[in-house]
Structure 1
């Protein structure tokens, strides 16, 4: 049995070497993202070991079997050689996934999942982007190489073992040990004896709401999402009657006035978070805000570009771990702006200067009902490929303006800009023209603002301009806010939302209402005086309702009036008055129980309605 115990000990020695490396990765993750976290507790780091043990156990189940299985063959040199090589390769690949989030977390605000790692919808861009990222983040591959060399050197080897004869008693003992040890490793992977295996959402038990990423590790998140399509369940909080009394997404808009048949242009600016405007980088947009109806409390529905399109165009919130466009519900029938306006005589088109197929926007545009999609392939104009993503904003927005001049009025067009996306490339001719700002994105933000200015200069000379409502927002916030208030779970979703109508001076001013991307669709329909009955999870800007809902890291975030509530699907985690307490330092959940109960009731109804309609493909009225 001495040889057998040596093999068992060898496995656990190797296991704890990997566990130690996971702690190094957690410290590195914190180092690279320390500006995103405040008041990190030891509990978060210690709780992370729970998730590390789970991930390492699942990853190494096969190696556990190869170490624990009875038999003399385990002690042969070649067996041990290839066992060590296999152990190193498999574990190091998973360790490297943590390196992705050292920088990618700044953009997403959450640990990467299998879908995010595999970059679905980014096949055309990925080659150029990887090259750019390797140049920009050169220190990561060097760090990974050093860690890999150290990992290989510290993996212990099996001490020489002499071949031993087996009798039935030894076989029985080793078989019993095999079963017990495999059961133990599986239990580690499961996370313990609790009713359900350890889940990503369980990270909230070890720290504050916005510190789950410290507790988690990327391999765990990947393992938990491999091969899993987004499958929602109805939480059944309420009966159908109760549900509709609390929240009903069926919205009817009717007007005493005739439809005004204005053109509609939606401009979604890449990464133009609220933290990036009105600070000197965006002089044109800042000036346009003064001529527009601007919502001081504007919010995005997600942290990814792919979340913004269905939210803005179809009033569908991003309340899943996968974006709707890449989920199993991506072909659900929707009745959003393209179809509503098309039913009212509008020509519709979507523009995105990146490679066709980028982020599956073209696929979603078909589902949403756009007449046309214009991407990099359709672009006609001066050579303006940025070498990575697609066409620079200035040239593509000029193309955008030109195409709309060809459209029959009324028309509805949407453009999604690209130049203010990492790696933040601007044309050579503009190098040194724009202020650098304080973070990497600021120069490209300034360039995109200039491109926006050029677009309006061109568009304002066209006949359709004065008969057009312009709606401008951002897809999400950017990666590195400098002010603390933009690092909270409220601040990291703040984006500009403005309505500009050059022929209507009455739609001007600063509005304090809480408004988000899903509110844009019903607001436009209301502004155009179009009678419509639809499913919308938002509300018109004219509505007295004042709520916002978004989702991140398995937590539902709900804003109502001045209050913010975090809810994990079962219980409320925190309540703050975010307008008085911008940094969300004071949890009011025990002192304002009535408010917490009221808000929890609403968010439960909202979640149940969304899940049931998504599951049943009931986002349209029959």
Structure 2
């Protein structure tokens, strides 16, 4: 146990007990388990691995051991054969910088493990964490309504792959071998030659790619600030998947709204009540399988 939480193996023991109870009730289950031993001060139970305490390398190896132990214990359970395990990370150890956006620091693994359900293989397509939800639901063959900004990567057309990375001050949009960096303090920058060249090099200004990057981030910010990502009555009706907001009307209350200019941020796209109404808002997407 440390300031972040309990040892990974104890967390996994708690999770297994919970999953056993749900299975005994005849319930399907979804569990999100976040390990914490791989955080400072890097302490973990003794006699598990051959590396010392209080060093990142030891904590990483311990977490690896704990995940393996969790899988081994789960394999003896009656629910194992029909369970998908997805193992990934929230970030790397060096992704908390304040200025730089080297994509290599945002390259995290993702493992899908279900030996009775998935054949071994490797998929090398570019994706972001926001794509995990749609990809999982697509793999399960479920029809659903959502506010997802992500893609089902298994069924995505070639060429539409992209990834989002950020620091406390900058936003990045990675597509193909180019990275757009958005910064409130200067004009957008496009870097080329990624990922083979970790730092990239300045590329000719690609206005289309810049506008694409700005549209993703500003749309998400706008939808959030206006409450358009919330569930509202009637949104489960597929006929209301796309709702167009008339000029000057509040998208939530449907009442007239005073027109106000919105501050230009991170690029060339300026949003105001007039063009917001003309473009309309996608408030809920529907996916059918």
TM (normalized to structure 1)?
Answer: 0.34
For residue 152 of structure 2, the aligned residue among 520, 525, 540 is 540
Of the three residues 33, 40, 47, the one matched with 1:422 is: 40
Q: Size of the alignment, in residue pairs?
A: 222
Cα RMSD of the aligned pairs, angstroms, is 2.4
Map Cα deviations across residues 277-311 of structure 1 (whole Å, 9 max, x no partner).
xxxxxxxxxxxxxxxxxxxxxxxxxxxxxxxxxxx
Give the helix-richer structure, 1 or 2: 1
The structural deviation recorded for 1:523 is 0.7
1:499 maps to which of 112, 134, 148: 112
Aligned positions of 1:515-594 closer than 5 A: 515-542=127-154, 543-544=156-157, 545-569=160-184, 571-584=187-200, 586-588=201-203, 590=204, 593=205
Q: CA deviation at 1:488?
A: 5.3
1:467 to 79, 82, 100: 82
Instruction: List aligned pairs for 1:358-397, cutoff 5 A.
Output: 386-397=1-12
Of 416, 439, 452 in structure 1, the residue corresponding to residue 67 of structure 2 is: 452
Shift of 1:465: 0.8
Q: What secondary structure is seen at the aligned counterpart in 1 of 2:76?
A: coil
Distance (Å, rounded) in 1 between the aligned partners of 2:190 and 2:211: 14
Cα distance in 1 for residues equivalent to 2:147 and 2:44: 40
Deviations 1:332-366 (A, max 9, x none): xxxxxxxxxxxxxxxxxxxxxxxxxxxxxxxxxxx
Question: 1:98 matched to which residue of 2?
Answer: none
Aligned residues of 2:180 and 2:209 also touching (Cα < 8 A): yes
Show the counterpart of 1:268.
none
User: Could you say which structure has the larger radius of gyration?
Assistant: 1
> Structure 1 residues 535, 480: closer, same or farther in 2, change over 3 A?
closer
Q: 1:413 aligns with which of 26, 31, 52?
A: 31
Q: Name the CA distance, whole Å, in 1 between partners of 2:182 and 2:5.
A: 39
2: CA distance, partners of 1:390 / 1:554: 29
Residue of structure 2 in register with 1:615 after alignment: 225
Is residue 393–residue 419 contact of structure 1 (8 Å, CA) maintained in 2? yes
Asked whether the 8 Å contact 1:565–1:599 carries over to 2, the reply is: yes
CA distance in 1, matches of 2:227, 2:95: 37
CA distance in 1, matches of 2:101, 2:165: 14
Determine helix, strand or coil for the equivalent of 1:575: strand
Question: Is 1:403 paired with 2:24?
Answer: no
How many Å apart are 1:564 and its aligned residue? 1.5
Cα 1:480–1:529 change in 2 (3 A) is closer
Distance in 2, matches of 1:549 and 1:616, equals 22
Deviating runs (4+, > 6 A) in structure 1? none
1:513 match: 125
**What are structure 2's unaligned runs of at least 5 residues?**
236-289
User: Is contact 1:514-1:548 (8 Å) kept?
Assistant: yes
The Cα shift of 1:567 comes to 1.8
Task: Tell me how far 1:463 sits from its aligned partner.
Answer: 0.9
Deviations along 1:25-45, one digit per CA (max 9) or x if unpaired, are xxxxxxxxxxxxxxxxxxxxx
1:574 CA drift (Å)? 3.1
Distance 1:387 1:489 in 2: 31
Q: For residues 207 and 114 of structure 2, what CA distance do their matches in structure 1 show?
A: 40
User: How far apart in 2 are the matches of 1:597 and 1:498?
Assistant: 35
Q: Which residue of 2 aligns with 1:324?
A: none
The aligned residue for residue 602 of structure 1 is 212
Q: Aligned-pair distance for 1:563?
A: 1.8
Q: 1:614 to 1:565 in 2, by over 3 A?
A: same
Change in Cα spacing, 1:608 to 1:548, as seen in structure 2 (3 Å) is same
- Looking at structure 1, the residues matched to 20 and 41 of structure 2 have their Cα atoms a distance apart, in angstroms, of 32
Distance 1:517 1:565 in 2: 18
Post-superposition CA distance 1:125-155 (Å, at most 9, x none): xxxxxxxxxxxxxxxxxxxxxxxxxxxxxxx
Instruction: After TM superposition, list the pairs within 5 Å mapping 1:429-440 onto structure 2.
Output: 429-430=47-48, 433-435=49-51, 440=55
